[in-house]
Structure 1
Amino acid sequence: MKNAKLLVAALLIAGTALFSSCSKQEEVTKNDAPSEETLSQIRALGFSTHDVKRDGDAYVVEGDIRLTSADLKNSYANGKLLRVGSEEQYRTTNLVSVGSTTRTIYVAVSSTLPSAYVTATDEAIRRYNAEGLRLRFQRVSSGYNILLTKAPSGSSYLASAGFPTSTGNPHNQVLVNSTYLGSNPGTNYLATILAHEIGHCIGFRHTDYMNRAYSCGGAYTNEGASTVGAILIPGTPSSADPNSWMLACVGTGVNRPFNTNDRTALNYLY
């Protein structure tokens, strides 16, 4: 799917309005421009410095990935990155620690989000648990590892999340722009967005990391590898992967359950 442009960071237009599972490209707010020092830190971590947005005390890069000031001080060595085909599946250096058996990640939905977001979260969780991974998910009302909550008013992204910590825990928050998405954007479409952001929380980068234009349209854009490194997943195809749940951009209302290559990547990690 070739889309024209993102709304703010990843909302697309291709004949009809299309959206990124990550962010939107219609400038809603004018955030402070990052300093050269901040851009250098972002670049050193292996992320693109194109269209970096400041959001409170964090920076949003690559459309939907949140980096805090603490993240910017980290450096990653001996990094690894997973690849699925020529449009590739990537993961970050840090992953969620599972141990020798299984681990359950507890997900909560804030009351700041409409009830339809609870239904979509349940569907996103069902998709992960249906794969029989060692990493399991369960929705809870308290004691969560990941909280899905409303993005601040005027946010310039559709949804955003971060990556696992160096201590083996998932990123603990997904900010969802329900003001833009509305109270009921459709269960499968919203579940696709939420599963994508949870994917970031457990260590996945965008499938078309090497060329965002594959799903987002526009000019060739490499999100940058830097010190992150690379590992090819054995047995994955050498052709492009048009339907991955971790593609940077997705059309409005599109449902992207895990495809065969996604399952290979998920099972390889967890």
Structure 2
Amino acid sequence: MIKQVIRGLAGCLVAGALFISCQKDNAETAQQDQKIPQDVLQKIGNKGFSTADVHKVDGGYLVEGDILLSEQELSSVSSSPNLRIAEVEQYRTNNLVTRLPRVIRVKVTGLTQPYIDGTDLAISRYNALGLQLTFQRVTSGSADITIRGFYQGPSGGFITLGSSGFPTNSGNPYNSISMNTHPQAYGTNPNVSYVGSVIQHEMGHCIGFRHTDYMNRAYSCGSGGNEGSAGVGAVHIPGTPTGPDAASWMLACSNGGNRTFNANDLIALNYLY
């Protein structure tokens, strides 16, 4: 769930800054966390994800802002090692998309033209990289990833832009992306580059990427800490930096505009796919 600070809320907006420039009251966050059963929080923690600000949503639990974990995923046990790409750079989950080379079919349903165009933009950016993993938008038949809308206004000064999940143990991409159609998310006339950048980010999760600033969400969000290790073991990808990267497409929070792959993102994508 990439979050955006709502303009006009006192003390929250810094012009030209990052999406999250203030955080919810700690008491509010603690109250939200208390509503989640302790055994669920334990499972989330055992998976290596942060147990802070967990939300119960349709289909499971939303963690780390835009990651949906289903009940089945929380109960499953992964035997794959976790790959870490630099100290505060790219990270992937235990599972990746397998059976390469492979075409991932993407369908947009129930959304207006800017979301369709944004999907096409995101797909074109991935397909231009020459990876073994490519994407194709389909309008009929089955799809590997379905992009749907939901309508949700701001809460506590923040608004959800989109959410998705991680690949399955069987090597398939996460099968859905949810995009917010509320006017305060993208406006009444959504900018295609903005929408496409968010979809591009959520597609990154679907194929196994965690947030670039996973070690410190405050880097792009203005607040927040370590999201969790998501497993045991780490392998550094040669050629990737060990410092923060302000332009990465997988930063936890968007800059509110057009953001695509930078040079370090390309290293990570080519290493994995």
* TM-score bucket (shorter structure): 0.7 to 0.9
Matching residue's letter, 2:130: G
C-alpha distance in 1, partners of 2:33/2:114? Answer: 30
Separation in structure 2 between the aligned mates of residue 148 and residue 184 of structure 1, nearest angstrom: 19
Matches within 5 A, 1:76-87: 76-84=78-86, 86-87=87-88
Amino acid across the alignment from 2:123: I
**For 1:107-163, what per-residue CA distance to the aligned partner results, in whole angstroms no more than 9, with x for missing partners?**
0111x2111111110000011001000000010012210000012556962211010
Match of 1:194 in 2: 199
Equivalences, count:
252
Q: Which residue of 1 aligns with 2:121?
A: 123
Residue number among 70, 80, 92 corresponding to 2:72 in the alignment: 70
Output the CA distance in 2 between the equivalents of 1:55 and 1:234. 38
Give the corresponding residue for 1:55. 57
Percent identical among aligned pairs is 47
Q: Distance in 2 between matches of 1:234 and 1:125?
A: 27
Aligned to 1:11: 4
Structure 1 counterpart of 2:9: none
Question: How does the TM-score come out when normalised to structure 2?
Answer: 0.85
The CA RMSD over aligned residues, in Å, is 2.5
Deviation (angstroms), 1:18? 5.0
Aligned-partner Cα distance in 2 for 1:192–1:79: 29
Please list every run of 5 or more consecutive structure 1 residues that lacks an aligned counterpart in the other structure.
1-7
Q: Does structure 2 conserve the Cα–Cα contact (< 8 Å) formed by 1:44 and 1:75?
A: no
Q: Secondary structure at the match of 1:232?
A: coil
Distance in 2 of aligned mates of 1:14 and 1:89: 28
Letter aligned with residue 269 of structure 1: L
Cα separation, partners in 2 of 1:186 and 1:11, compared to 1, 3 Å: same
Question: Judging changes above 3 Å, is the alpha-carbon distance between structure 1 residues 258 and 58 closer, same or farther for their aligned structure 2 residues?
Answer: same
Corresponding residue of 1:107: 106
The 3 A distance-change label for structure 1 pair 31 and 226 is: closer
Structure 1 residues 217 and 19, CA gap change in structure 2 (3 angstroms): closer
Distance in 2 of aligned mates of 1:183 and 1:68: 32
Per the normalisation by structure 1, the TM-score is 0.86
Name structure 2 gaps, 5 residues minimum: 6-11
1:227 aligns with 2:235: no
CA distance in 2, matches of 1:242, 1:261: 11
The answer to whether the 8 Å contact 1:164/1:203 transfers is yes
Number of the residue aligned with 2:91 = 90
C-alpha distance in structure 1 between counterparts of 2:107 and 2:34, whole Å: 31
Cα distance in 2 for residues equivalent to 1:241 and 1:153: 30
